[in-house]
C-alpha cells in the first residue's frame, strides 16, 4: 500500500485519498475552439510514464484538500508532496 505524506495531516494510507489524475495536463485555453477529436484526446488520452510523475490526489478522509504528489511509478516511492498550487516539499 502507498503511504502519502499529507502536508497538513502527516503520513496517511493511500485509502484515505482519491486519485485526481495527471498534474501535467492543462485545460485547453479555448475549449469552444476544440473539435471532438481534440476533446477526446484531452479527456481520455494519457501517457503511462515510467519513473517520476506528478499527480493530483484528494485527501477525502483527512483535511479534504487537493495535493500534488511527485511519485516514482517504478518504485511507488513518494518523492514530494504539496497542496495543489503551492511549492513542493520533498525528500530529495
Residue 14 falls inside a structural domain: yes
pLDDT band for position 92 (50/70/90)? very low
Residue 46 falls inside a structural domain: yes
Residue 29 falls inside a structural domain: no
pTM of the shown model: 0.81
The domain total for the chain is 1
Residue 33 falls inside a structural domain: no
Residue 28 falls inside a structural domain: no
Supply the range of the domain harboring residue 63: 3-23+38-90
Domain holding 59: CATH number? 3.30.2270.10
Position 23 pLDDT exceeds 60: yes
Each residue of 42-75: pLDDT tens digit? Answer: 889 888 889 999 999 999 999 999 999 999 999 9
Q: What is the pLDDT of residue 65?
A: 95
Q: Which residues contact 58 (CB under 8 A, 6 or more apart)?
A: 17, 18, 20, 64, 65, 66, 67
Residue 8 falls inside a structural domain: yes
Q: What is the mean pLDDT of the chain?
A: 90
pLDDT band for position 86 (50/70/90)? low
CA dist list (Å): 41 to 47, 55, 57, 76: 11, 18, 22, 27
Q: What is the pLDDT of residue 8?
A: 95
Residue 31 falls inside a structural domain: no
Among 24, 63, 60, 59, smallest CA distance to 45 is for 24
The conformational region for residue 34 under phi > 0 = left, psi -120 to 50 = alpha, else beta, is beta
Amino acid at each position: 500500500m502507498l503511504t502519502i505524506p499529507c502536508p497538513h495531516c502527516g503520513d496517511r494510507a493511500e485509502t484515505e485519498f482519491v486519485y485526481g489524475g495527471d498534474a501535467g495536463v492543462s485545460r485547453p485555453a479555448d475549449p469552444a475552439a476544440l473539435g471532438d477529436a481534440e476533446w477526446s484526446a484531452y479527456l481520455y488520452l494519457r501517457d503511462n510514464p515510467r519513473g517520476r510523475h506528478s499527480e493530483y490526489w484528494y485527501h477525502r478522509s483527512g483535511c479534504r484538500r487537493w495535493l500534488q504528489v511527485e511519485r516514482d511509478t517504478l518504485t511507488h516511492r513518494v518523492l514530494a508532496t504539496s497542496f495543489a498550487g503551492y511549492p513542493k516539499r520533498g525528500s530529495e
